[in-house]
Each structure stands twice: as structure tokens, then as C-alpha cells.
Structure 1
Amino acid sequence: MKPCRTWLMMCWCLLLVACGSTGNRTKQFKDSDSQSEPENSPAMLNVKMGVAYFERNDYDTALEKLKRALEHNPKLAIAHSAIATVYASMNAQIDAERHYELSVRYAPNDPTILNNYGTFLCQQGKPLEAIKYYQQTLANPFYKTPETVHENIGVCLMKADDYVQAEDHFRQALALNPNSTISLYNMVIVSAGKGEGMKARAFIQRLEGLTVLDERVLKVAYQVEKKMGNERAAQSYLAQLRKLKKS
């Protein structure tokens, strides 16, 4: 499972709150103050509208609003991060990467900006580069959801075929949030891949207590029980899988 667009929306919401402030501002921005944009300024209002249109899958209008935000403040990192995600969703990867790089340039210590760029790099098949930005995110003690960053690192490490370190990060995520379905799912995959049937079963059971198992988990659960010789449990998962496919 990968961090999805919903997660990016949450990141943007956090940034919108953090960037909000009061008072009048001049039209000229310095690198040091370009992120202190008032919440009701033209730049921030256009960012909010751009995000809203993006959530409705109206990419063209989202781009229009976000470009307008950058006209008001060309160094506003949240606007660059937001427009980068829109471009990525439109498969305009060159434009996406350019704006992600700008977002990091203008807010090099903002953990949410760093995390967003890391997610993009991981999705582009650059896991080791992505992990560098994720580690910078974790280095910020005030970042509110470090468990999601551990999950992101784990996913990237799996792409790099480093299942040992991936498992460590998923366990760290679960230590922070024992009910994380993303980490539990990936621990099922890691454990099953290592042939640790009992561990995989335990994580599957924890998932069952939190959510309805999807097709991917049901397939793994069937295979795990089959290999362990528990035919009754295997057939139960197979029946659930068939029922799910029919619905």
C-alpha cells in the first residue's frame, strides 16, 4: 500500500494551518518570510481553491488557481508542493519534479514538504533518494505523524528489496500506532515472504479485527494457511475471496 492522494490532502491541510497568520504584508518576499503567508491572502486563498478543485478531479482549474497563487508569491513552498502533485496526477512528471524541487528549496526544513517530495520520488522508482527526504522528515521532533513516515520508508525499502530494514520501520510505525492497517498489511507481506507463517497469521488476524480484508490480503491469507496445512482456514479465506470477486 502506498501513501495516497488523500494523505497528500491531509499534508496540505496541515500546511495551510501552519502558514496562516495575521497582518498586512508587502508584495516583495524574502526567502526567510515567503512561508509566513497570511491565511486570507490572495496566494493562500488560491492554494486552498486549487486543492479543493484537485479533490474534485478538476485538474485544469486546480492548476489555474495554483499558478495564480505562485504569481502572488513565487516562493510559496506549499503552492509548489500542491501544483507538483497535480502535475504528477496528470503524468506530467518533469513539471511535477521541478515544482517539488522548488518546494524543498524554499522550505528546506518543513517536514511535510520533505515528506511529500519523498513520496513522489518513491512513486517514481527512486526509493533511496526518497528515503533521504523521509529521514529528514523524521529528524523533526515536532512532526505529528512519524508513523506514516516510517511506513513510507518501509514501502520504499521493499521496492529496493531491503526487507530487513523495511520490517524494522513497519514495526516502528506499529509501536507508534498499533492499529495502522498499512503497516499491518506490509508486515503480512514481509512475514509471508520470509516463510514465517505464524507471524503472518498473527498480523492477518490483527487486520481482521480492524477492517474487512481486501483481495490482496485474502490471497496471502489463503496461501499462508495452505502452506501451514490448515485446510479449513485456507478454504474459509478462499470462500471470502470468491464472494468478494462476485460482488
Structure 2
Amino acid sequence: MKKNCLLALILVLSPLVQANEDLSADEQRAATRTSLASEYYRRGAYAVAIEEGKKALESVPNYAQALNVLAVSYVALKDDAKGRMYFEQAVKAAPKDSDINQNFGAFLCERGDYKAGLARYDIVLSNTLYATPELTLIAAANCSLQAGDRALARQYFDRASKQRTNNLSVKFQVANYLLSEGELAQAKQLFIEVLRAVSKAPPELLWLGVRIERKIGNKEAELRYANELKRNHPDSVEATKLMTGQYD
């Protein structure tokens, strides 16, 4: 597992498309260009993604998924004004689209517009067919924490923990939250589940283990995770926190 796997943010883009006889020629061209734009975005070629996204709009001016790719590409280039503009056009073109609302919600929450961001997440969660509601619930919980609303965050975390998921990011973040709430037994259970699922524990996971065992008072386990953190990730932020006693 790479270091940032447990903390990855969600950006949802349309998959590659196949020829579809139900689409008009213009719609097929727009879909193909959007797929190319999505692939360039994933490769970090944001300027090319923008170029392909705009070509998609030449075929279908309000093609929602193209607007979505343009939005996240401009955000990646730190052009928030254009990113917001394309997000707003995208949700106008497809108000209930879960992928677009997921991305726009993340954008809004990251910029402190928590109420609007949570409203976007709630649109996603209203879609009972959405493939990964647990990730949206975690995002909404973290947005609520940033807004200072721990009660609302708890509701989202509780809903996320009830999802039948093997997603390690979800389990890790719920465990972190439970630790902050002093619910140590549940936090440890989730921590152990994640630890057993990875071949090599990343530093943030070991640091979670250190803090849980420290709160419980299990010095032996705390020392074991601390030594593993220092040995395997000596230059990590978490190792620095350990060495300087920054447990909170």
C-alpha cells in the first residue's frame, strides 16, 4: 500500500466509453473526447485534458461529464474560478449526477463552503444505486468536522461504519474518529482489521496504532508499533511526531 492510499481524496471521472448505437454522432464524439480528457487528467496532463474537454463541448455544448473533467482539471491547475464555473455548469446540466456532485462537494468543502458542500454530498447519498456511498459518507463526515459540527460528523461516521465495506480508507478514518471520541475498543478493532489487510503498514497506520495503544495503556503494543514506525519510516511526519511527543 502506498503511503497516501489511506487518505486519498475522491475525484470521480467518467470511464472510457465504447461505441453506443443509442448515441447520436455528436454525442458519441463528445463521449469519446470526454474519455480521452479523463485519461489525460489521470495522467496529470491537465492542459491536454482541458483541450479534449473543450473539444467534447464543441459536439455537445452542455455535455455534463465533459464539464466535470474541465472543472477538476482547472482546479488541479489552481484556477478555482474556472473550476467553480465549470462545476456550476455541470450541475446545471445534470443536477442529480452523483459523480459531479461528489467532486463539487469536495471542492466546496475544501474551500470552506461547508453547507453547500454537504448539500452536494447529500444529493450523492440520495442515489441508492451509487457504488461507493461509504466514501461519500466519510467525505461528508470530514467536511462536518472542518465545519466544527461534531454531532453531524458522528452521524456520517456512524452511517459509514454500518456500510458493508472492505475499503481500508473508510475503516482507517472511522478508527481515527473513534480514537478522538475515546471509543478505544472499536477504534482498535478497525485498526487491527486494516493492519491485517496490508502487507507493509504505512506510517499513518502505525501512528494510529501507537496512539490507540497509548490511550488504552498497553505499553508493550505501543512500543512495538512505535519501533516499527521508526524502523520502516524514519523520515515520515508521523515518526517526527513520535520523536517529539506530539500525540494529539
Q: TM-score, normalised by structure 2?
A: 0.82
Q: In the alignment, is residue 89 of structure 1 matched against residue 88 of structure 2?
A: no
Q: How far did residue 200 of structure 1 move? A: 2.1
Match of 1:12 in 2: 14
Q: How far did residue 122 of structure 1 move? A: 1.9
Structure 2 gap ranges (5+): 1-5, 236-248
The match for 2:98 among 106, 111, 115 is: 111
Segments of 4+ in structure 1 off by > 3 A?
A: 23-27
Alpha-carbon contact 2:195-2:205 (below 8 Å) kept: no
- CA gap of 1:176–1:196, structure 2 versus 1, over 3 A, is closer
Match of 1:127 in 2: 114
Alpha-carbon contact 1:2-1:152 (below 8 Å) kept: no
Q: How far did residue 243 of structure 1 move? A: 1.8
Q: In the alignment, is residue 227 of structure 1 matched against residue 215 of structure 2?
A: yes
Q: For the residues of structure 1 that align with 2:179 and 2:217, how far apart are their CA atoms?
A: 14
Match of 1:148 in 2: 135
Alpha-carbon contact 2:191-2:208 (below 8 Å) kept: no
Aligned residues: 229
Q: For the residues of structure 1 that align with 2:116 and 2:130, how far apart are their CA atoms?
A: 20
Q: For the residues of structure 2 that align with 1:170 and 1:219, how far apart are their CA atoms?
A: 21
AA aligned to 2:30 is: A
Q: How far did residue 90 of structure 1 move? A: 0.8
137-146 or 105-114, which moves further after superposition? 137-146
Tell me the SS of whatever aligns to 1:57. Answer: coil
AA aligned to 1:153 is: A
AA aligned to 1:165 is: L
What RMSD over aligned residues (CA atoms) do the two structures have, in Å? 2.3
Alpha-carbon contact 1:80-1:103 (below 8 Å) kept: yes
Structure 1 gap ranges (5+): 28-36
Q: How far did residue 26 of structure 1 move? A: 7.6
Residues 22-80 of structure 1, C-alpha deviation per residue, up to 9 Å, x if partnerless?
256386xxxxxxxxx3xxx2211111111111222112211111111112211011000
Q: TM-score, normalised by structure 1?
A: 0.83
Q: For the residues of structure 2 that align with 1:227 and 1:25, how far apart are their CA atoms?
A: 61
Q: Tell me the percent identity.
A: 24
Q: 1:156-195 alignment to 2 at 5 Å? A: 156-195=143-182
Alpha-carbon contact 2:71-2:82 (below 8 Å) kept: yes
Q: How far did residue 85 of structure 1 move? A: 0.5
